């Protein structure tokens, strides 16, 4: 039984990950989202798989809710095998986002910090809070969903705060990989592909059906030697 | 006469930058959080009365940035070099020790080290556009190189510099159209309050190298990760 926790799982990439992992018989999934009541697709999946899908409320920037999520998971299992830090924000969609975080001349510290809190700091706080459960997992993995927008090498005109939030997340992946290596926890940053979701928008190059099987394959194939790396959905490396 | 703006210039690398630019005849807008208590800057301003101007600027606070911008707009109609030097690296387990990390202290560091330079550049962009082949130099660190952190790192300071590197690439993209060259620069390990006494470089030597690097910048360097001695660093 693989025990998996996914943040931001009510729509987009997170929801598709839940769907696909549920198709495996031997998974137990903690699907977290900010507002479970409003998460109709997740509720429908939970009705079909009441013993393998648990929906937990989790606003990832809320320290109290992180503690509650840890407690709720502990009641069910004594270890976690996979944590996917998927929740993230673009403050709009690619090409049409809040100018206060994307546009030179309009940048504002408050909204910029809000984005860093969600995309960069929250995954670190999740890693810290769930480290004990991961330590007691089988072949435990921690996947930070990053973006090739955060690649300094590939930078091609990206929009300030979102790319910087992912670059900083990648640095946390490097730090975590080192600190958790002795516990056997493999930590990576993963670019899921440019996907048609609310965030990616209709002009994104991949559908969820095309990209998510690749994402899952990459995670399945992770070896300890991959820890600290920045991997693409097709298994290749993304340059820093 | 070159017109230079430096943040965090009351001590350490920023102070030495102000000294060396002043010594070679530049006009220096030497900014710091608290000019009142900046004794060494006052001494420098006295020695170069007409060319070194002390201006209050706290890079963590937009109001302070705006006030400094209006003060400096009244004193010059262009800037040739902006050096975003101010940064913090507090010895605080809430920033660097896994198990004790806390969001708010981490975000306070990101505010000063990563966002501050972007907001300062934004506030002075019009003066830079009216400068002579203007340059924006963001002082980063080898700690911000992802490539170089294979053996552990201190979380917040490292991430703040990696984020600064990305913001700098964004700035380089935006400002290129105005003929402004923007880089990140690693000063080396320098004997300052932050670098500590075991650092390998005297500020004098590092800053001499930095001035030389800035003097030689060409458009090919736009968006690059440079080092005090002219070498390049990997991302
Ligand atoms: N789509 C792409 O092309 C692409 C490319 C590269 C990387 N990514 C990354 O992939 C991840 C998922 O993206 P997506 O395309 O699925 O985006 P999406 O469709 O916009 O979904 C974002 C998800 O994150 C959740 N979320 C946002 N802020 C949250 C918070 N503070 N606490 C808890 N949950 C929060 C959202 O919940 P609500 O419904 O409550 O808002 C939603 O479930 C993100 O990290 C994104 O940066 C996406
Ligand atoms: N020393 C090294 O070995 C080394 C190595 C790599 C990179 N660096 C980088 O080089 C730069 C200068 O470092 P340093 O060694 O000179 O450090 P330092 O001796 O600690 O001096 C830091 C300076 O930044 C100022 N500062 C901090 N927060 C500020 C804020 N919110 N607004 C305005 N000014 C602020 C400080 O002013 P107060 O006096 O008011 O605190 C001080 O003038 C930093 O960006 C640092 O990250 C240093």
Q: In chain B, which residue's Cα lies nearest the Cα of A124?
A: B101
| Domain at B3-227: CATH architecture | 3-Layer(aba) Sandwich (3.40)
Cβ–Cβ under 8 Å, residues B8 and B41? no
d(CA B76, CA B107): 34
pLDDT of residue A156: 78
Report the alpha-carbon angle B65-B48-B2, nearest 5. Answer: 60
Average pLDDT score over residue span B186-192: 98
Cβ–Cβ under 8 Å, residues B121 and B183? no
pLDDT of residue A79: 98
Half-sphere exposure of B208 (CA within 13 A, CB side): 5
Residue B221 has pLDDT above 80, yes or no: yes
pLDDT of residue B47: 97
What is B3-38 written as a DSSP string? EEEESS-SSHHHHHHHHHHHHTT-EEEEEES-GGG-
Report the alpha-carbon angle B25-B29-B33, nearest 5. Answer: 140
- Across the strands, what pairs with A195? A206
pLDDT of residue A206: 98
Chain A contact present for B166, CB below 8 A = yes
Instruction: Please tell me which of the candidates A63, A168, A178 has its beta carbon nearest to residue B162.
Output: A168
Q: How far, CA to CA in Å, does A104 sit from each of A98, A150, B123?
A: 12, 18, 10
Strand, helix or coil at B201? strand
Residue B209 has pLDDT above 80, yes or no: yes
Average pLDDT score over residue span B66-94: 98
Q: How far, CA to CA in Å, does B2 sit from each of A74, B84, B98, B216?
A: 63, 17, 46, 14
Cβ(A200) – ligand 1 distance below 6 Å: yes
Instruction: Please tell me which of the candidates B119, B225, B235 has its beta carbon nearest to residue A109.
Output: B119
Contacts of residue A180, Cβ cutoff 8 Å, sequence gap at least 6 = A127, A131, A134, A142, A187, A227, B98
Residues of B in contact with A113 (CB under 8 A): 107, 110-111, 115
Average pLDDT score over residue span B165-181: 97
pLDDT of residue B30: 98
pLDDT of residue B151: 84
* Model confidence band, residue B82 (pLDDT cutoffs 50, 70, 90): very high
pLDDT < 70: residue spans in chain A = none
Chain A contact present for B101, CB below 8 A = yes
- The string of pLDDT tens digits covering residues A79-116 is 999 999 999 999 998 888 999 999 999 999 999 999 99
Residues of A in contact with B110 (CB under 8 A): 113, 116, 120, 168
Residue A123 alpha carbon to ligand 2 centre in Å: 28
pLDDT of residue A52: 98
Mean pLDDT of chain A: 97
Contacts of residue A212, Cβ cutoff 8 Å, sequence gap at least 6 = A13, A16, A17, A20, A192
d(CA A18, CA A34): 15
pLDDT of residue B96: 98
Token digits of residue B47 = 């020695």
Residue A119 alpha carbon to ligand 1 centre in Å: 9
Report the alpha-carbon angle A207-A116-B55, nearest 5. Answer: 140
Residue B141 has pLDDT above 80, yes or no: yes
d(CA B191, CA A124): 31
Residue A199 alpha carbon to ligand 1 centre in Å: 7
Cβ(A229) – ligand 1 distance below 6 Å: no
Chain B contact present for A89, CB below 8 A = no
Instruction: Please tell me which of the candidates B103, B146, B163 has its beta carbon nearest to residue A240.
Output: B146
Which of A48, A49, A71, A53 is CA-nearest to residue A10? A53
Mean pLDDT of chain B: 97
> What are the φ and ψ backbone dihedral angles of A85, each rounded to 5 degrees?
-80, 90
Contacts of residue B176, Cβ cutoff 8 Å, sequence gap at least 6 = B182, B219, B222
> What are the φ and ψ backbone dihedral angles of B64, each rounded to 5 degrees?
-65, -40
d(CA A41, CA A14): 12
pLDDT of residue A115: 98
Average pLDDT score over residue span B153-162: 96
Q: Å from A120 to nearest chain B CA?
A: 9
pLDDT of residue B153: 86
Cβ–Cβ under 8 Å, residues B72 and A70? no
- Provide the 8-state DSSP code for A97: E
Whether the model pTM is above 0.95: yes
pLDDT of residue A130: 99
pLDDT of residue B156: 98
pLDDT of residue A60: 98
- CATH topology for A2-232? Rossmann fold (3.40.50)
pLDDT of residue B213: 98
């Amino acid at each position: 039984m693989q025990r998996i926790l996914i943040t931001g799982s009510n729509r987009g990439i997170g929801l598709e990950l839940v769907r696909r992992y549920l198709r495996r018989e031997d998974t137990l999934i903690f699907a977290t989202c900010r507002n479970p009541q409003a998460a109709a697709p997740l509720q429908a999946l939970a009705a079909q798989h009441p013993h393998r899908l648990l929906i937990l409320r989790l606003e990832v920037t809320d320290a109290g809710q992180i503690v509650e999520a840890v407690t709720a998971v502990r009641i069910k299992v004594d270890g976690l095998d996979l944590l996917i830090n998927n929740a993230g924000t673009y403050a709009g969609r690619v090409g049409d986002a809040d100018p206060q975080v994307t546009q030179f001349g309009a940048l504002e510290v408050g909204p910029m910090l809000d984005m860093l809190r969600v995309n960069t700091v929250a995954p670190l706080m999740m890693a810290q809070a769930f480290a004990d459960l991961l330590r007691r997992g089988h072949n435990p993995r921690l996947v930070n969903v990053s973006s090739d927008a955060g690649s300094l090498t590939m930078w091609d005109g990206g929009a300030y705060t979102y790319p910087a939030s992912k670059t900083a997340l990648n640095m946390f992946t490097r730090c975590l990989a080192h600190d958790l290596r002795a516990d056997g926890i493999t930590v990576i940053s993963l670019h899921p592909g440019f996907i048609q979701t609310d965030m990616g928008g209709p002009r994104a190059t991949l559908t969820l059906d095309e990209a998510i099987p690749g994402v899952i394959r990459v995670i399945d194939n992770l070896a300890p030697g991959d820890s600290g790396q920045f991997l693409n959905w097709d298994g290749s490396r993304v340059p820093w | 006469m070159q017109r230079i703006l430096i943040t965090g210039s009351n001590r350490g690398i920023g102070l030495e930058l102000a000294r060396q630019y002043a010594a070679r005849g530049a006009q220096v807008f030497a900014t710091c959080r608290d000019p009142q208590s900046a004794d060494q800057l006052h001494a420098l301003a006295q020695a170069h009365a007409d060319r070194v101007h002390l201006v209050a600027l706290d890079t963590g606070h937009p109001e302070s940035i705006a006030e400094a911008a209006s003060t400096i707009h009244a004193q010059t109609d262009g800037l040739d070099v902006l050096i975003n030097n101010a940064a913090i690296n507090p010895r605080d387990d809430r920033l660097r020790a896994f198990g004790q990390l806390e969001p708010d202290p981490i975000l306070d560091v990101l505010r000063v080290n990563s966002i501050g330079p972007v907001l300062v550049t934004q506030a002075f962009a019009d003066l830079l556009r009216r400068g002579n082949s203007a340059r924006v130099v963001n002082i980063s660190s080898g700690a911000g190189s992802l490539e170089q952190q294979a053996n552990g790192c201190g979380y917040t300071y490292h991430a703040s510099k990696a984020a600064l590197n990305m913001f700098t690439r964004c700035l380089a993209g935006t400002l290129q159209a105005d003929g402004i060259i923007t880089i990140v620069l690693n000063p080396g390990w320098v004997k300052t309050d932050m670098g500590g006494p075991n650092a390998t470089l005297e500020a004098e030597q590092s800053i001499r190298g930095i001035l030389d690097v800035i003097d030689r910048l060409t458009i090919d360097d736009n968006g690059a990760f440079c080092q005090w001695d002219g070498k390049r660093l990997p991302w």
